[in-house]
Structure 1
Amino acid sequence: MLIFSIWLFTVVASTYLFKKVSGSLSPVRPNMITIIYYYSFLISSYIGGLLIALGIDDYYMIKRMDHEEYRIIGFILLTILMILFPLTQLVVGRMFGFNSEKEFDRYLHEPVRTSVDKNRRLFRLAFGALTAISVLAVAYTMLKTSTVPLYELLKGNTSELAKMRIDASRGISGIDVYIRNIFAIALTPVLSIIAFIYTTQSKALYWKIVFFLLFMSSLVITTYDLAKSPIFFYVIMLLLAGVFTQTLKLNWKKISAFVISGTVLLVIMYIAIQGVTEVESFLSYNSGPIGRIILAQISPFFLHLDTYSHSIAFLEMKGLPSFIAGIFDVEQVRSARMVMENVFPENVDKGTGGVLNTIFIGEAFGSFGYVGVIVCIIYVAAVIQLLYIAFLRLPKTPVVIALTVYFTINIPRTLVGGAADFFFNPIWIMMTVVLAGLFIVEQYFHVIWTFLMSKVKRKKVKA
């Protein structure tokens, strides 16, 4: 009863703090902080954390845990996360004079600024070049993937789908990884968001054609390895773009329709991909889709605590991004992979064991223990709040909206994937640089060009 009382009090307090931070926790007015709270923390982490702390999870991962005391220790750390994270964001917001409710409301109602007339032709040319690169990157990824799980499923070959999915994600190496991860997986959906916004704003045939190409390519790259979450997150990206541009007005009726449609699609994917047909599996809280949502993501956190406290030494600098680890002359090691090898070695031997990703403080603990958890909570919360403030205050153009949508979806996903990406993430940096260049072409190229030409003319006159 004490554990549940603490959980309930924490949920109430955390909800209040997150609402102060975000400006709105209403699902009909979604934003980055809203998704972090509902998806990354409450649903994916804290509900399952309660079940594990109470000892009623009956989940296969937790059964591999050797020391039961980490049920309570893990719950306490999650409770600290639920309070300290939004509290840090609130302090950062106050430091920058951020009024979340007013600024988010202003952002939603601010009109979209499309490309300046003088830049329009050049912007379309640059965007067309990036579109060609992305579509070719998707095709290249398909060619370099020895066995495409989606294609095998459509052919009816379902005997080794689990192994094929691991091979599809880990079977590409070298420069091919960067082509796939940056230009195919990351850039293609974001470009489709830009094209979608321009299609809704201008109705031009050019944008309709480009959006169709990018939309189809995005569907391919988000489903080819049969991972279930990417396609859902891509659809949410489109919905967010509609909300931010006021093309889509959400209400509870529409949200209910989206939830029902998503549930039906998820059930179909579980039946087709994993062969789950028993009704009990879909209704049980610790198996099927429900177990995947509330327990599969948080259980590895408890395994991290158990593993790095007794079986594996803290990774320290090896747990940092490869760029930073290289400075200290050590090779990066992902804690989630180490935990998989320690807890499920038989799956690794069979080729079906990948990584045991979990809430980001799991990786922080694997690197630096309890101190790492507290420091990482404060650091990550501050970084996210600064990004949230920046996105609400930047000019509201299709390119900036697409970048905002990208981080609005990818930050919550990364929070349940690890901590290292918040210290150095080459994909995020590359995406920001590419879209910053597009933004300049979209809005300010003629100003920069005029300034440069005037400087050239002045030099000629002096000569």
Structure 2
Amino acid sequence: MLIFSIWLFTVVASTYLFKKVSGSLSLVKPNMISIIYYYSFLISSYIGGLLIALGIDDYYMIKRMDHEEYRIIGFVLLTILMILFPLTQLVVGRIIGFNSQLEFDRYLHEPVRTSVDKNRRIFKLAFGILAAISVMAVAYTLLKTSTVPIFELLKGNTSELAKMRIDASRGFSGIDVYIRNIFAIALTPVLSIIAFVYATQTKALYWKFLFLMLFSSSVLITTYDLAKSPIFFYIIMLLLAGVYTGRLKLNWRKITGYVIAGSVLLVGMYVSIQGVKEVQSFLSYNSGPIGRILLAQISPFFLHLDTFSHSIPLLEVKGLPSFIAGIFDVEQVRSARMVMENVFPENIDKGTGGVLNTIFLGEAFASFGYIGVIVAIIYIAIVIQIIYIVFLRLPKTPVVIALFIYFTINIPRTLVGGVSDFFFNPIWVLLTVVLGGLFILEQYFHMIWSFLTSKVKKKRVKA
């Protein structure tokens, strides 16, 4: 009863704090902070954390945990996360002078600024080249994948789908992995959002064609390895693009329809990909889709606490991004892989074991223990709040909207993946640089060009 009372009080307090930070927790007005609260923290972490703390999870991962005291320790750390994270963001907002409700409402109602007429031709050319590169990267990814799981599923070959999925996701190395992760997986959906916004704003055939091409490529790259979540997140990106441009007005009737359609799609994917057909598997809280949402994401956090407290020493700098670890002449190690090897060695032997990703607290603890957990909460909360404020205050152009939506979806996903990506993420950096260049071409190229040419003319006159 005490644990549940603490959980309930924390949810109420955390909800209040997150509402103050985000400007709105309404499902009809989704934003980066509200998605973090609902998806990353409440649904994927804290509800499952309660079940584990109460000892009523009956989940196969937790049954591998050797020391039961980490049920309570893990719950306490999650409780600290739910309060300290939004509290830190609230302090940052107050220091910067950020009025969350006012600025978010202004952003929703602000009209979209398309490319300046003088920049339009060069911008369309640059965007077309990037679109061609991303589509070719998708094709390259499929060609370099020895067995494409989605194609095998369509052909009816379901005997070794689990192994094929692991091979498809881990079978890349060297330059191939950068082509796949940056230009195919990351860039293609973002470019499709830009094309979508321009297509809805201008009605031009050029943008409609590019959107159709990029949309098809995005669907293909988000489903080729039969991972279930990427396609759902891409659909949410499109919905957010509609909301932020004013083309889609969400209400509870529409949200209910989307949830039902998504549930049907998810059940269909479980039946076709994993062969789950028992009705009980879909209704049980610790198996099937519900168990995957409530427990599969948070259980590895408790395994991290158990593993790096007793079986494996703390990683320290080895758990940091590779370029930081390289400074100390050590090789980066991902804790999620080490926990998989330690807890489920039989899956590694069979070739079906990947990684046990979880809330970022797991990787923070694996590196620097309890101090690492507290520092990571404060640091990541500051970073995310600054990103949120910056995007709400940037000009509302299609390129900026697309990058904003990308971070709105990928930051919550990264929060349940690890902490090192928040210190340095090459995909985020490169994507920001590329789209930053597009933004200059979209809005300010003619000003820069005029400035440079005027300088040249002045030098000629002096000569």
TM-score, scaled to structure 2: 1.00
Which residue is 2:66 aligned to? 66
Question: Superposition pairs for residues 52-451 of structure 1, below 5 Å?
Answer: 52-451=52-451
**Amino acid aligned to 1:198:** Y
**Amino acid aligned to 2:212:** F
CA deviation map 1:382-419 (0-9, x unaligned): 00000000000000000000000000000000000000
In 2, the alpha carbon distance for the partners of 1:459 and 1:335 equals 59
In 2, the alpha carbon distance for the partners of 1:305 and 1:404 equals 34
Aligned-pair CA distance for 1:162: 0.4
> SS where residue 330 of structure 2 aligns?
coil
In 1, the alpha carbon distance for the partners of 2:36 and 2:47 equals 14
Aligned-pair CA distance for 1:320: 0.2
In 1, the alpha carbon distance for the partners of 2:384 and 2:351 equals 36
Which residue is 1:18 aligned to? 18
Which residue is 1:6 aligned to? 6
In 1, the alpha carbon distance for the partners of 2:327 and 2:443 equals 38
CA deviation map 1:294-325 (0-9, x unaligned): 00000000000000000000000000000111
**Amino acid aligned to 1:303:** L
In 1, the alpha carbon distance for the partners of 2:203 and 2:336 equals 46
CA deviation map 1:324-352 (0-9, x unaligned): 11111110000000000000000011110
> SS where residue 296 of structure 2 aligns?
coil
In 2, the alpha carbon distance for the partners of 1:307 and 1:172 equals 28
**Amino acid aligned to 1:172:** F
Which residue is 1:457 aligned to? 457
In 1, the alpha carbon distance for the partners of 2:235 and 2:394 equals 24
Which residue is 2:39 aligned to? 39
**Amino acid aligned to 1:64:** R
In 1, the alpha carbon distance for the partners of 2:280 and 2:193 equals 38
CA deviation map 1:34-77 (0-9, x unaligned): 00000000000000000000000000000000000000000000
TM-score, scaled to structure 1: 1.00
In 2, the alpha carbon distance for the partners of 1:63 and 1:88 equals 35
In 2, the alpha carbon distance for the partners of 1:450 and 1:329 equals 48
In 1, the alpha carbon distance for the partners of 2:127 and 2:402 equals 13
In 2, the alpha carbon distance for the partners of 1:323 and 1:226 equals 31
In 2, the alpha carbon distance for the partners of 1:426 and 1:358 equals 21
CA deviation map 1:195-237 (0-9, x unaligned): 0000100000000000000000000000000000000000000
Aligned-pair CA distance for 1:151: 0.4
CA deviation map 1:230-268 (0-9, x unaligned): 000000000001000000000000000000000000000
Aligned length: 463
CA deviation map 1:163-211 (0-9, x unaligned): 0000000001110000000000000000000000001000000000000
> SS where residue 269 of structure 1 aligns?
helix
> SS where residue 285 of structure 1 aligns?
coil
> SS where residue 387 of structure 2 aligns?
helix
In 2, the alpha carbon distance for the partners of 1:48 and 1:200 equals 40
**Amino acid aligned to 1:325:** A
Extract unaligned runs of 5+ from structure 2: none
Extract unaligned runs of 5+ from structure 1: none
Q: Which runs of 4+ in 1 moved over 6 A?
A: none
**Amino acid aligned to 2:415:** L
**Amino acid aligned to 1:407:** F
In 2, the alpha carbon distance for the partners of 1:363 and 1:336 equals 7
In 2, the alpha carbon distance for the partners of 1:98 and 1:337 equals 39
In 1, the alpha carbon distance for the partners of 2:287 and 2:98 equals 42
In 2, the alpha carbon distance for the partners of 1:322 and 1:241 equals 34
Question: Identity over aligned residues, as a percent?
Answer: 85
**Amino acid aligned to 2:329:** D
